[in-house]
A and B are shown apart, each in its own frame.
Chain A
């Protein structure tokens, strides 16, 4: 174990996989000499000559070329600087990357990692702050990864790189500086395995990415009021660990889902539907969702604070169930 920040853990995950497999390369805007817009890939360009490539501002070509390279045997980690910019390359992802294998009758594989960053809280305004994971989870053939801790960040990066399918790996700006124990060397967290970040008996809070931490803070506060909340982090939305979610509901009989993305069409709706379809009898209360409102992300810190789900909103939602 070694103390690392989330950003360092991602970098270490990439480094280990690049050392392990000569077919892995990293490309994207400013990932090389600049070390990435948030410093996540700092130094890798010196460690891996010819395998860390600075690209022009050319998102369609970043993802399109990664699809081609993957089809031809490489394992690209292709960065789109902010998740908001994936709009630019969406065709390459949702019509090309994820459909090739299926349309070719299983005769191709596209082991591509689209690495990007989501989230608010830094007054970056509407075009640099979104949580778009529901878009991606809705695409068959794509896996969706959203690590919340440094260890998960490293282990899920390894799993994403090793996976033979297109994977979107979504970091969160608020977590980059978060520090924690991370296993050294090769370390893989399998895709599709949820993690109980805090055990509890009275209510299940499912949250991912930054919201795991807000849910944990809410759980601490709730404990003082005698409510024992379990915080479950699915870690990957696709594949989704339904069994773990249902097992937790079987224990607590109450479900609150917390995500930073807006409510309508959000992935919280999918989890609520799983609970209703497969766990109806386990529930003692209606399912609650704590999300951002259905608006773009505002700039002003006052407005952004009102926009983002926080501890207070989570506590309130939980208390409404009792």
Chain B
């Protein structure tokens, strides 16, 4: 598979957008501007980017409590996202959902999710709908290493495999479920090994290498689109921040943290782009500057937006 200059630059722009959006969110949260819980994806940008680059607006995703990156990679609007983080009426969910529940159903984004593992069967259902309607669309399901221990993982994988559904299971293995590290919460090294139990292909890739993620997801998406059923992709990565903003993450080994920050997926991609002669450092810096301005505009949009009206608490309960 030959990735074009356009592909690589698009990856770069998406990853930088996620990083910039979230760095800003961290800052805003620390300044007391964002209510509720905020879980950041910083360090894991290559996963959402590489997977979603294989999806169109017709395809579906299910996301997690750490969902900003998935939304941006699937084409979510940063103004509406930022307004939702502020709880404003102009946000994606009119202020009813917040960071942990952002959705854009028109873009196939069936929601971030506050319940770990809940998205797995939902993605299976969306994939079933794609198959049933013969729409040619597929579903991708993002979840963490911790979520792969939930019963939903087993039930979703099994159902998707017997029904040969077009779904790509993407395990974002950042090696922690809050304070619980992988070696304490499972007895295996590679979560992709679990695929064998369902008769489904499973691969492990470097989740900090957007090209590796892209290629594995391309293969899984192709399989899904051609009627061959689900796949499991495990992306080994690392979350730089605490579990949520405010968590000092004392349970993490600082050495490991340092090593992983050294594997930052963004400069790695930048280096590749420059080496291939697709762009110069200055071009990449220009992309980053444009993204920064875009995110600043999103913050301004959110700050200038109205709060919801108290009476709106009663709307949207029933269709």
Contact residues of A with B, CB < 8 Å? 29-30, 33-34, 37, 54, 56-60, 84-85, 87-88, 122-128, 293-296, 298-303, 305-307
Contacts and interface: CB of A to CB of B under 8 A. Distances in A.
Contacts of A299: 35-36, 87, 93, 95-98, 101
Contacts of B310: 302-303, 305-306
Main secondary structure of the interface of A (DSSP, over half): loop
Contacts of B314: 293, 295
B117 A293 contact: no
B188 to A, nearest CB: 12
11 contacts: A57-B150, A57-B180, A127-B113, A295-B314, A298-B308, A299-B35, A299-B101, A302-B308, A303-B96, A303-B313, A306-B310
A30 B179 contact: yes
Interface string B111-126: 0011111000000000
Contacts of A305: 310
A33 B178 CA distance: 11
Interface in B34-50: 35-37
B27 interface: no
A56 B35 contact: no
Contacts of A122: 36
A56 B95 CA distance: 32
Contacts of B147: 57
B179 A303 contact: no
B313 A301 contact: no
A127 B37 CA distance: 12
A301 B98 CA distance: 10
- Interface size on B, as a range, is 35 or more
Contacts of B251: 33-34
A31 to B, nearest CB: 10
Contact of B87 (A59, A88, A293, A301): A301
Interface in B268-319: 307-314, 317
Given A33-B179, A125-B97, A296-B96, 17 more contacts: A57-B185, A84-B114, A88-B150, A123-B87, A126-B96, A127-B100, A127-B114, A293-B314, A296-B317, A299-B95, A299-B98, A300-B95, A300-B307, A300-B308, A302-B95, A306-B310, A307-B313
A127 B115 contact: yes
A302 B307 CA distance: 7
B87 A57 contact: no
A84 B115 contact: yes
Contacts of B117: 57, 88
B115 A85 contact: yes
Contacts of B185: 56-57
Contacts of A59: 150
B178 A303 contact: no
Contacts of B317: 294-296
B251 to A, nearest CB: 6
Task: Find the residue from B147, B185, B311 having the highest chain A CB count within 10 A.
Answer: B185
Interface string B168-199: 00000000011110001110000000000000
Given A123-B35, A127-B115, A293-B313, A34 B100 contact: no
A123 to B, nearest CB: 4
